[in-house]
Every structure is written in C-alpha cells, then in structure tokens.
Amino acid sequence: MIRTIDASQAIPEIYTAAGFDYSKWEAYINAIYKDSAHIFTDEVKQYLESGQYTFEKDFLPILNAVPGNPNLPILRADFSAVTDGLDQRVAACFGRTLDVDIVLYLGLCVAAGWVTRMDGGYVILLGVEKILELGWHGMDDMYGLIYHELGHVYQSQYGVLERESASSAENFVWQLFTEGIAMYFEQALTGDPRYYHQNKGGWLTWCEGHFQQLLSDFHADLPTMTQFTQRYFGDWCSYHGYGDTGYYLGARFVRYLTETRPFDGLLGLEIKEVYDLYTEFVNRYSL
C-alpha cells in the first residue's frame, strides 16, 4: 500500500525571525521519523567535506527562500492530487503493488526526491526546498518526480536497488542503470516513452541530438569519475550546459536492454552483469 504524509504544513515552525533554525528543523524531522536527522546531515556533511560547498552559500539561501514562496500552496495541492489513486495506477500498469510511504517535507537540500528505508520500510522523501528551487511544483513535474522515485522502490521491492563494487566505474554504471530503471518506470506510468520531467529549454532535443557524444564522454570519464566530479547526475551538474543528462542516457540503456529481456527480468541483475551489458551498449552505439 502507498501511504502519503504531508509534513509541509509544519514548515513555519522551523523558522524564526532570523530565518532557518537548525535545532527547530532537527526536532521537526525527528518527529516524522524518530532519530532520523542524521540521515540528512550525514549526506550534507559529505558535500561540505569536499571543500566545494559551504552551508551558508549553497544550502541556507535555498532553505530561507521557502517561507512565503507563492508556489508552496500549489505544490501541496499538486502533491495531494498526484498521489490520489497511485496504488491503482501502479497495479494497472505493472500488475504489482508497492509498500511505501511518500513524505512531502522540508529537508537540507539533499534532493528533490530520494528513496531510503526508515522504521524497516521504504520511504520516498520529497524535499520541498529543492522542488521549489527547481520549479518542479506543477502537476506534470510532480507526476514525473513521484513516478521516478516509485521506480526505485519497485526495483528495491522486486529486485535489488543497492549494489556496490570495488570498481568505481562499475558503481557509476550501476547508478546509470538504476536511474534508467526508474525512468522506464516513470515513462510507463505516463504512457510516453519520451517523457522526461527534466525536459525544459530544449533538454530532450539536445540529448537526442548528442546521444552518441554523451555516451562516449560518459564512458571516457568512467576511470576518473567521482561523486564530486561527475557531470551527469544532479541538477547542479553541467554537461555542455545541461544537467541530469545521465537520466536520459540511463533510459536509453534500459530500453536497449528491454529489446531482448522483460523489464522485470532486469531488476535482480548483478552489478558485473550490468557492466557487461553496458559494454555491449557502448559497442553498439560507439562513434
């Protein structure tokens, strides 16, 4: 069963006259899921320790822009509308149900949407501050965002989402694969194989026109790619002026795999199997 929690109603309590108050936020987040604040702060700490970000410059302005944002009520209404009847839509499309909480909350700019486990169950966390920053508060964007994260839950529940290798290259190919799985799921629910909620300002047209270059560059970057130097996953990244291009590439990869395999048959693949299939994909479309 898909359950929804709108924790955005309590957002005003997190702020004082001076702005965002960390101690109030900590109490707020721990009230949703007990002792959960460390999940968010641990993620932020990784970015701060990289030396490329500071909380005051890169996080605080986004958090302080939330109160009074005229799009917040729109976001809350669209969240309610999009999540209504989700169980039935997933079952009709995939013949299976999902067991997950979907929480609309204020986080620490970790992500607009991500999947984790809390209290032994799957949780989709939708960060109000990032959604507003990215302008993803409309119905179409909300459909895409929620459907995408449900795709990760689907892989978790009926296969394996998290695998890790000693090879950094294999790990990044696994990320490409899992984002592709979620994109395929998202597109299946929208009924449009060319649907991408990232498609703004000619994004899809550019990706389609530069597919081989994108694949070639991703493959060339693999040996030296790190979490902080990769150019393909995240709105803050830039590949020739475009963010999130790894989602397009991942979707193409998974669609290539479904030419010869059922979608559900991909969900339990081992990481080395995925890397071998990725190598086939590269060879087929290499420049």
- Express each pLDDT in 93-145 by its tens digit: 999 999 999 999 999 998 899 999 998 899 999 999 999 998 888 888 899 88
Q: Are residues 9 and 150 in the same domain?
A: yes
Q: Are residues 195 and 258 in the same domain?
A: yes
* CA 191 to each of CA 87, 111, 194: distance values in angstroms, whole numbers, following the listed order: 16, 26, 9
CA-closest candidate to residue 141, choices 54, 82, 204 = 82
Distance from C-alpha of 190 to C-alpha of 232, rounded to nearest angstrom: 24
Q: Both tokens of residue 183?
A: 């994109």
Last residue of a domain, one of 104, 132, 158: 158
Which residue, chain included where needed, has tokens 């957002």?
11
Please give the tally of structural domains in the chain.
2
Sorting pLDDT into bands at 50, 70 and 90, what band is 235?
confident
Distance from C-alpha of 1 to C-alpha of 22, rounded to nearest angstrom: 33
Inside any domain, residue 11? yes
Inside any domain, residue 231? yes
Say if pTM beats, i.e. exceeds, 0.85.
yes
Average pLDDT of span 32-50: 91
Cβ atoms of residues 176 and 253 within 8 Å? yes
Q: Residue 287: what pLDDT?
A: 62
Q: Are residues 18 and 37 in the same domain?
A: yes
Q: Are residues 186 and 139 in the same domain?
A: no
Last residue of a domain, one of 109, 132, 158: 158
Whole domain around residue 57: which residue ranges? 2-158
The answer to whether residue 178 scores a pLDDT higher than 70 is yes
Inside any domain, residue 163? no
Q: Are residues 31 and 152 in the same domain?
A: yes
SS3 call for 169 = helix
Last residue of a domain, one of 158, 184, 204: 158
